Amino acid sequence: MLYKDGWDTSKKRMEAWWNRELLDRVVLMVSAPRKAPLALKETLKKPASIDIEWTDPAYYVYKAEKSFAETYFGGDFYPNLSPYLGPGQMAGYMGSKITYAEDTVWYHEFLENWDNYKPFTFNTNQPHYLLTKKILDLSLKGNDSKWITGMADLGGALDLLSAARGTGNLLLDLVDSPELVLKAERNIQDLWFAYFNDIKGIMQKNMKGFSTTFNLWCKDDYYPIQCDFSAMISPAMYEEFVLSFIEEQTVKLTKSLYHLDGPEAIPHLDMILSLKKLSAVQWVPGAGKPTADDPVWYPMYKKIQGAGKSLDLWDCSKKNIEKVIDELDPRGLLIHLAPDQFKTEDEAKEMERMVGIWSERRIKKLG
């Protein structure tokens, strides 16, 4: 791959990770500025507005490739271009009004009254979905030797319903109109699979393997399942309104990763770990919390590994990585180091070397 050395070996490491096995060391995602940025065939002028930056497919792909050309992809990190239009972009396919910002996209509530609810339908010509497909097509077009193209960030059923209704309204709905919530969730989940499978079909015609916005490769289809809305509800409500939909995704997908986001989501962890087909858990502590390498989280990590799930630690600082490897089972362990910690390519390579040494030591200790 043009922007990534050692890609074949990295794919083998990630495939072993999905199966809670080990190739040679833990999976490591680390990046730094490339010592000698690679030249691009053309230069595109920055658009006049943020809206155009997001909605011009040619500039969207150019901007991603420019970043790839300037980045050293260390360890098993790789150039990944997903048609990402903000978190939960399926809300746009459902009819949400959209605001484009510098680093994200905002989706605004539009289902103000349940009297206005009509089942959402699959529409391949919906403008926001057409934009997704145009970016996807352009990314895939002859670029498989340069980067990997990933799945869009579709969102999850309850999160998408929250985008439609608004957070406050939906919290009241869970108590006042639970049957309407479940009916709408069922509709959204069915729609989710329709869009997922349509995008999957486009991807698999043009490349081998599968990727998503979280830069994790798999030879089979998967998705980072999530319910960020769950931070605001009790375990009893999680069981009633979330668990069955999450379980259905784990059953219908070949592989699955649960995106556990923040301490408020931890009360639901036992239910999540009870899902037999769930492959892995990704932990993101959230802003203002101890980073994912901090020892405060180690008991939870051991619980996740003890349940037979692979573990993805997101945005770790580099200070405790040796201890993380010493404490945990290296089989099915992925460490993603937060960007901007390494100022040079050589620093990232040194971390990669040390992770290899620490992994080897841990493996010998385990026998």
Give per-residue pLDDT as tens, 121-160. 999 999 999 999 999 999 999 999 999 999 999 999 999 9
The reported pTM is 0.96
> Is the separation of the CB atoms in 120 and 188 below 8 Å?
yes
Residue 60 vs residues 89, 138, 194: alpha-carbon distances, Å: 16, 10, 25
Q: pLDDT, tens digit, for every residue of 268-278? A: 999 999 999 99
| Contact residues for 229 (Cβ-Cβ < 8 A; gap 6+) | 158, 159, 162, 167, 170
Radius of gyration of the chain (CA): 21
Q: Which residue has the tokens 């289809």?
A: 221
Residue 60 predicted with pLDDT over 90: yes
Q: What is the pLDDT of residue 193?
A: 98
Q: What is the mean pLDDT of the chain?
A: 97
175-211 burial by CB neighbour count: b if 16+ within 10 A, else e? Answer: eeeeeebbebbebbbebbbbbbeebbebbeeeeebbb
Q: How confident is the model at residue 333 (pLDDT cuts 50, 70, 90)?
A: very high
* Rounded Cα distance, 242 and 235, in Å: 10
Name the phi and psi angles at 115, rounded to 5.
-65, -25
Domain residue limits, the chain = 1-34+215-367, 35-69+79-211
Average pLDDT on 98-121 reads 96
**Amino acid of residue 361:** R
Q: pLDDT, tens digit, for every residue of 215-250? A: 999 999 999 999 999 999 999 999 999 999 999 999
Q: What is the pLDDT of residue 367?
A: 83
The two tokens of residue 331 are 């089989």
CATH top-level class of 35-69+79-211: alpha beta
Q: pLDDT, tens digit, for every residue of 78-101? A: 999 999 999 999 999 999 999 999
DSSP for 350-363 reads HHHHHHHHHHHHHH
Strands 333-337 and 224-225, sheet pairing: unpaired
Percent of the chain whose predicted confidence (pLDDT) is above 90: 99
The two tokens of residue 11 are 């794919």
DSSP structural state of residue 20: T
Start-to-end CA distance of the chain, whole Å, equals 35
Q: Is 265 helix (H, G, I), strand (E, B) or coil?
A: helix
Q: pLDDT, tens digit, for every residue of 17-45? A: 999 999 999 999 999 999 999 999 999 99
Q: What is the pLDDT of residue 7?
A: 98
Q: What is the pLDDT of residue 170?
A: 98
